Amino acid sequence: MSAQLKLTNIQSRVTVYDRTKTTSLHAGDACDLFTSGSAPSAACDGLLGDATGLFTSGSAPQFSRALTGDAVEMFTSGSAPAGTKAATGDAVEMFTSGSAPAGTKAATGDAVEMFTSGSAPVGTKAATGDAVEMFTSGSAPVGIKTAAGEGTALFTSGS
């Protein structure tokens, strides 16, 4: 037997058309701890860890995916995430926003959880877990689906 060096493959590249950095991670956080006027868009695929977490931004992430972990977590933003996916974990969690998430999906876990928003989520899906849970909003959720769990739980709303 011989000892071989084991490498972790971390790739970063800048796309020419919009000059954004694209990241692919096997373990860890793709975008974490930042303040910005804009947020990541299709910036990361995290296999183990959080795709986007702990940020303050004028806009929120679009199309972030996490295999195991949270897709979008703990942020304050003028807008909310669109098109986030999480296989095991929470799709969108713990945020304050002027609007609420649209089109979030979670296979096992909560699709949208623990937030304060001017509007409520639209089109959230959860296979096992809660689709929309623990929030305060100016309106109520619409078009939510869950296979096993609660569609909407623990919220205060204007409608």
pLDDT in tens, 127-143: 666 666 777 777 767 77
Between CA 20 and CA 18 the distance in angstroms is 6
| Per-residue pLDDT, 15 | 46
For position 74, what pLDDT does the model report?
64
Convert the pLDDT of each residue in 51-108 to its tens digit. 565 566 566 555 555 555 566 666 666 666 666 666 656 666 666 666 666 666 666 6
Contact indicator for 104, 81 with CB cutoff of 8 Å: yes
pLDDT of residue 141: 72
Q: Is the pLDDT of residue 26 over 70?
A: no
Residue 122 has pLDDT above 60, yes or no: yes
Sequence ranges of the domains in the chain: 15-157
List b or e across 112-123, with b for residues whose CB sees 16 or more CB atoms inside 10 angstroms: bbbbebebbbbb
Mean pLDDT of the chain: 61
* 8 Å CB contact between 47 and 55: no
Question: Quick one: pLDDT band at residue 145, thresholds 50, 70, 90?
Answer: confident
Provide the percentage of residues in the chain whose pLDDT is more than 90: 0
Tokens of 44: 């990361």
